[in-house]
Chains A and B, each alone.
Chain A
Amino acid sequence: MKILCLIKFVPDVDSFSYDKERNVLVRENSSLILNPDDGKALGLALQLKKADPAIQVIAVTMRPLSVREQMYDVIRRGADMCVMLSDKAFVGSDTYATAKILGTYIKKECPDLILAGSETLDGGTAHIPAQLAEYLDLNLLSNVLSVSGSPVTDGEMLCDVTEGDEILTYAIKFPAVVGIAREAAFRLPFVRYFNLDKDVSGQLSILTNEELGLPDAEIGLKGSKTRVASSYVRKIEAPMEERIVLMDEDEGVDYVFRYLKEKGYLHGTDFHDH
């Protein structure tokens, strides 16, 4: 069985610091991280592989070569190989063009199962799994929380999906596209200590548009059906601060003591007993 995982590297929004004076997020020195939903998808793929080592897991990303080291780490975590679709011609591609580029590659691989995160941290459109499924004419399930069944032998997988307040279980036949929800419990394993310095360069494949053969008109800005009108960062409210000023030392000590006691940091007798 061949599983293909779509992964994306996004800015680590948690590492943004907040500039109180200018009321902006500071994004300099932030790093790229594996999109958490995609990490869950990869975690599921590796979990299935652990149960059946014959399963082949390929991780695919469409990104500049700057994330090559992170792709090596994906291999070290357990993927059989990684593919980077990297070409200047892809720059500016919207989700439609991106899905076409990915789909063109995926057609050649003929995987049984395509896993992806349902959403990304930096875009949040959730378009790619759906557009890809459409391009490849495959069934799609999104927001999958958990899976069961015997996918290798049955050729299908049972998926629990959130729908409003309910959780419904679907059986989806392969080949299929499955989008994993952020709330799913699949954990992406860390690189093991003995693999930290393992040379996995031979398991990384880089493909350009030359290999894919897509016309220029169908990729990049030219191939995109949509444009980014504007982008903005959410306005961050300055965190509420409560300041209490006490001019009397004894009053101050009493206040701190009562506060600590209320919060459960102090037990036992009252301060004034001492």
Chain B
Amino acid sequence: MNIQIQSLTESQIQQVHEMTLQLLEGHGITMNGETVQETFKKHGAKVEGNRVHIPSKMVEDAIKSAPSEFLVTARDPKKSHVIGIGREPALVPTGGVPIVLDKNGDQDTATFDDFRNMLKLTHTSSILNFACSGSLYPTVPDQSDGILMMIYHTLLHTDKPLVGNCEGAAISNACIDMVERATGLGEDEHMVVAITNSISPMGWDGKMLDGIRTFAERNQPINITCCSMAGATAPIYLMGGIIQSNAEVLAGIVYSQLIRPGVPVIYGTTSSVVDMGSMSLTIGTPEAIEAAVDKFKDGVAEQVDSKLIEDWFSQLNWSQKDIDDEVQGMIEHYRHSGYTTEISANWDNITKIYDSVIERIKKEFPRKDDLTMLGGHSSHSYINGTNMYFVYSYDIKCEPEDELLIYHHPIQQIIVEETLRYGGSMCHHHGIGKYRSQWTKEEHGSAYYILEKLKDTFDPNGIMNYGNIFPKEDGIKAYITKEQ
């Protein structure tokens, strides 16, 4: 089974690469540990405190020196496995799990019995071709001893190629020593793979780097991974998250190659998104999706008390009479109107956006004396930010055809400009529509191409919701600037 998915074009990959290099060299990355910092400094990187600015050439050299494939030798040589592009994938049990579910669905903390069972299942599996000494984390008083016991039991129960533990130099050395002793292999062979992980955003823990250094010094492969969470520890825009994740992984790869040029590395990532409600990392599985579909397959999870629905419907603010009265009011008093423009931003910037918008409108908007209301309110707030509706009403002192140009558009322009200036988004749940489409590219920046690609794929003839989201010059001329 050989699965390869490429969703970016070559030029887009190049764009990601270039922006990653800029990020690593310009912004830099936190690499904790004096030894680590000295290593980078010795090889020509600028180091400011624990911030390392990795020059582009150093990254490019590291990529070139890492081998494109390598053999992981198992205790049973027949089970050795080549890792590389185009090769059979290495299927490894996931690591770091402290909780188990029994067959009744009850949860409990993992024990060593559970761990051993896991190892036996791994060893006898016809699908998994690697074993992992961290596939379960039994709860023990001393975690360091526990890890050594886990390595021990792994070596006891399986002869498949191994993914080991690398939490710090001591554990890493112990792991490699134990594998060496058990397998009879030497350091000229790759006998155990480490899994390391950065700390997002843009950092590496000293202990993890010690693990990288130890494994590299002893010529053992290292899986250098990142698990950034878009919306929490990485930018919410996928492109930003990809670039950050890429930078973190490459920084780890560079370090490994500085320690030992040519040591095998695996570019790894489990970066994903967070559920904005719970701020939990969400990595879906097909099984979970199928279970959700099955649960709601009848369309009704739980019947709501009909009396609640009736009460809600009867208390609505708007009856038909209210709607009719409003329409009549608009006909009789057509000289006043109001709009909202919804934006969103994080807590650091939302008040700055509000203040600067109000100030600019008061200073720049030519018809400010016609305004009867100007303000903002929020309806949806989150841990990291909020939406905000800018609300503005005005006496209309122009022909109806000119209202949008004279009142709505200039105010909206100020709102969008200030929002984007402070790093907010010009929309939230009300979307972009047609009247803000001219700022879509500025809003999305380097991620804009993703929208374009989706649009090209699903609507190649451009017939769906013409003028929404993607600016169309003829639409803007006809409906916004009203050019004759």
Contacts and interface: CB of A to CB of B under 8 A. Distances in A.
Interface stretch (B92-100, B149-157, B396-404): B396-404
Interface stretch (A17-25, A125-133, A189-197, A219-227): A189-197
Interface in B121-171: none
Given A192-B402, A193-B406, A194-B484, A268 B397 contact: no
Contact of B402 (A190, A267, A269): A190
B278 interface: no
A189 B400 CA distance: 10
Contacts of B398: 190-191, 193
22 contacts: A189-B399, A190-B397, A190-B398, A190-B399, A190-B402, A191-B398, A192-B399, A192-B401, A192-B402, A193-B398, A193-B399, A193-B401, A193-B402, A193-B405, A193-B406, A193-B482, A194-B484, A267-B315, A267-B317, A268-B314, A268-B315, A269-B315
A189 B401 CA distance: 12
B110 to A, nearest CB: 49
Interface residues of A, number: 9
Interface string A164-201: 00000000000000000000000001111110000000
A164 B314 CA distance: 50
Contacts of A267: 315, 317
Interface in B389-421: 397-399, 401-402, 405-406
Interface of A: 189-194, 267-269
Interface residues of B, number: 12
B410 to A, nearest CB: 11
B476 to A, nearest CB: 15
A167 B284 CA distance: 79
B408 to A, nearest CB: 12
Contacts of B317: 267
Contacts of B399: 189-190, 192-193
Contacts, number: 22
Interface string B292-326: 00000000000000000000001101000000000
Interface string B367-407: 00000000000000000000000000000011101100110
A43 to B, nearest CB: 13
A192 B402 CA distance: 7
A213 to B, nearest CB: 40
A268 B398 CA distance: 40
Contacts of A191: 398
A191 B406 CA distance: 11
Nearest to A194: B484
Nearest to B316: A267
B275 to A, nearest CB: 33
A269 B312 CA distance: 11
Given A190-B397, A267-B315, 10 more contacts: A190-B398, A190-B399, A190-B402, A192-B399, A192-B402, A193-B399, A193-B402, A193-B406, A194-B484, A268-B314
Contacts of A189: 399
A-B CB proximity, top 8 nearest: A193-B402, A268-B315, A190-B398, A193-B405, A190-B399, A193-B406, A192-B399, A192-B402
A262 to B, nearest CB: 17
A145 B482 CA distance: 35
A268 B401 CA distance: 40
Nearest to B404: A193
Contacts of B315: 267-269
A267 B482 CA distance: 43
A268 B319 CA distance: 12
Contacts of B484: 194
A270 B317 CA distance: 15
Nearest to B400: A190
A185 to B, nearest CB: 13
Nearest to A193: B402
A185 B114 CA distance: 88
Contacts of B397: 190
Nearest to B403: A193
A214 B238 CA distance: 81
A190 B399 CA distance: 6
Contacts of B402: 190, 192-193
Interface in B73-89: none
Contacts of A269: 315
